[in-house]
């Protein structure tokens, strides 16, 4: 039985190592690491992590060195009794090693942790922009309330500025985490939590759901795209526009197929009658980099596959398979491609 337990443990450890190397995301930005900070909040967290790491390492080295010292210099063969800790020469060790030294180390960690908590509560300057993110099983609704923009799974922010996030969920608990920009925070039903993100430089930062929320938890990702402030203003202006009307026969047919099918119950396209709220807003779907909440690159092939049967790609998601002929699908894809 003992042997069997050891084998089980070894198998579990190997499995953890193996799955630890897995990823389900599109390869655009690298796998994000909290130890590769790209903004002030994440830098604060990474510094705290390294401080705790080196303090822990120092304690480990000192304790191990003492232990080895005692083992190799104070061995008395045949002596079985433990030393009397009440003896005066041992008391000093007990006081220093058991009380004073741990108290100093724990006070230091408490001090630096509280200092980080306070720093993370307040951005360097008051945020000018607020973004609302609503968690859904298994995608992210993104709203810019001051600009009347709604999008999904892709969050544009101006680089170099703090941005305030208001976070909640439409169903179960999710957790909002952009490891390179800040710590994570839960999205809880009936409650709005807030967090600020600031990217020091323009770039693409991967975000993920950090709370198990069902079958497709691992495929609930998003991108935070930090752009220079003027490019951000242009992006907002473009996203505010309603969808353009179709200009040729195929795209007109594609729009008719969209508006005449079950698509409209779940998706909105501003500028048309489609105003469903259950799935992502598709007004500017063609401008997004990914599909299926950060798991596929957005192109005609993946969009076609997703439209016909996303259950093969992300089983259990809320989008049912569509029954379209080849020609209907091509017309629909032509129309969706105009939604830049
Ligand atoms: Cu949403 Cu895990």
The DSSP element (H or E) to which 58 belongs, if any, is helix 40-73
β-sheet with 149-152: strand ranges across: 149-152, 139-144, 129-136, 163-169, 193-197
pLDDT digits (tens, 9 = 90+) for 277-330: 999 999 999 999 999 999 999 999 999 999 999 999 999 999 999 999 999 999
CA of 152 to the centre of ligand 1 (A): 15
What ligand 1 atom has the least distance to the C-alpha of 137?
A: 1
In sequence order, which residues have a C-beta less than 8 Å from that of residue 127 and are 6 or more positions away? 161, 162, 163, 164, 196
Rounded Cα distance, 196 and 161, in Å? 10
CA of 217 to the centre of ligand 1 (A): 4
Among residues of the chain, what percentage have pLDDT more than 70? 89
Rounded Cα distance, 167 and 188, in Å? 8
CA of 276 to the centre of ligand 1 (A): 22
**Mean pLDDT computed over every residue of the chain:** 90
Closest CA to 182 of 198, 193, 168, 167: 198
- Total residues belonging to the chain: 340
The DSSP element (H or E) to which 149 belongs, if any, is strand 149-152
- Give 166's strand partners: 132, 194
Residue 250: is its pLDDT beyond 70?
yes
140 — phi, psi (to 5°)? -125, 120
What ligand 1 atom has the least distance to the C-alpha of 210?
A: 2
Rounded Cα distance, 308 and 321, in Å? 5
Determine which residue's CA is closest to atom 1 belonging to ligand 1. 174
Q: Which residues line ligand 1 (CB under 6 A)?
A: 135, 138, 174, 209, 211-213, 217, 220
Rounded Cα distance, 339 and 239, in Å? 10
CA of 197 to the centre of ligand 1 (A): 19
Confidence class for position 27, pLDDT limits 50, 70, 90: very low
Rounded Cα distance, 93 and 96, in Å? 5
CA of 39 to the centre of ligand 1 (A): 24
* Tokens coding 48: 């705290």
What ligand 1 atom has the least distance to the C-alpha of 220?
A: 1
Rounded Cα distance, 216 and 332, in Å? 27
Task: Note whether 207 and 221 are within 8 A (CB).
Answer: yes
CA of 294 to the centre of ligand 1 (A): 13
Rounded Cα distance, 283 and 149, in Å? 10
Residue 195: is its pLDDT beyond 50?
yes
CA of 222 to the centre of ligand 1 (A): 11
pLDDT on residue 31 = 83
What sign does the CA torsion over 41, 211, 218, 274 have? negative
CA of 45 to the centre of ligand 1 (A): 22
Q: Is 155 left (phi over 0), alpha (psi -120 to 50) or beta?
A: beta
What ligand 1 atom has the least distance to the C-alpha of 138?
A: 1
Confidence class for position 338, pLDDT limits 50, 70, 90: very high
Closest CA to 153 of 236, 232, 220: 220
Rounded Cα distance, 266 and 278, in Å? 5
Task: Note whether 127 and 163 are within 8 A (CB).
Answer: yes
Residue 4: is its pLDDT beyond 70?
no
CA of 174 to the centre of ligand 1 (A): 4
What ligand 1 atom has the least distance to the C-alpha of 217?
A: 2
What ligand 1 atom has the least distance to the C-alpha of 172?
A: 1
* Tokens coding 215: 């079958």
Least confident among 31-35, 51-55, 209-213, 250-254: 31-35
pLDDT on residue 73 = 83
What ligand 1 atom has the least distance to the C-alpha of 209?
A: 2
Rounded Cα distance, 266 and 204, in Å? 28
pLDDT on residue 84 = 75
pLDDT on residue 18 = 56
pLDDT digits (tens, 9 = 90+) for 64-85: 999 999 888 877 766 666 777 7
pLDDT digits (tens, 9 = 90+) for 162-191: 999 999 999 999 999 999 999 999 999 999
């Amino acid at each position: 039985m003992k042997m069997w337990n050891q084998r089980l443990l070894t198998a579990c450890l190997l499995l953890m190592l193996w799955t630890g190397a897995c990823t389900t995301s599109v390869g655009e930005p690298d796998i994000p690491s909290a130890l590769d900070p790209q903004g002030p909040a994440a830098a604060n967290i990474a510094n705290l992590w390294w401080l705790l790491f080196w303090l822990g390492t120092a304690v480990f080295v000192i304790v191990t060195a003492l232990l080895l010292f005692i083992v190799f210099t104070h061995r008395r063969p045949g002596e079985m009794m433990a030393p009397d800790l009440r003896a005066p020469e041992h008391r000093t060790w007990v006081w220093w090693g058991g009380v004073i030294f741990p108290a100093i180390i724990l006070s230091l960690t408490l001090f630096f942790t509280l200092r980080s908590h306070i720093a993370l509560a307040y951005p360097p300057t008051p945020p000018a922009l607020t973004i609302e993110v609503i968690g859904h099983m298994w995608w992210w609704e993104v709203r810019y309330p001051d600009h009347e923009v709604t999008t999904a799974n892709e969050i544009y922010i101006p680089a170099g500025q703090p941005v305030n996030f208001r976070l909640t969920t439409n169903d179960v608990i999710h957790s909002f985490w952009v490891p390179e920009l800040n710590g994570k925070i839960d999205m809880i039903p009936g409650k709005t939590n807030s967090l600020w993100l600031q990217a020091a430089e323009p770039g693409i930062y991967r975000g993920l759901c950090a709370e198990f929320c069902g079958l497709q938890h691992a495929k609930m990702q998003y991108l935070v795209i930090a752009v220079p402030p003027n490019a951000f203003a242009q992006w907002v202006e473009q996203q505010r526009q309603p969808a353009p009307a179709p200009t040729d026969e195929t795209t007109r047919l594609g729009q008719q197929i969209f508006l005449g099918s079950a698509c409209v119950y779940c998706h909105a396209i501003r500028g048309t009658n489609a105003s469903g709220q259950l799935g992502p807003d598709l007004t500017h779907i063609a401008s997004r980099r990914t599909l299926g909440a950060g798991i596929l690159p957005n192109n005609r092939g993946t969009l076609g596959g997703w439209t016909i049967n996303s259950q093969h790609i992300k089983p259990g998601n809320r989008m049912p398979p569509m029954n379209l002929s080849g020609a209907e699908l091509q017309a629909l894809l032509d129309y969706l491609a105009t939604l830049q």
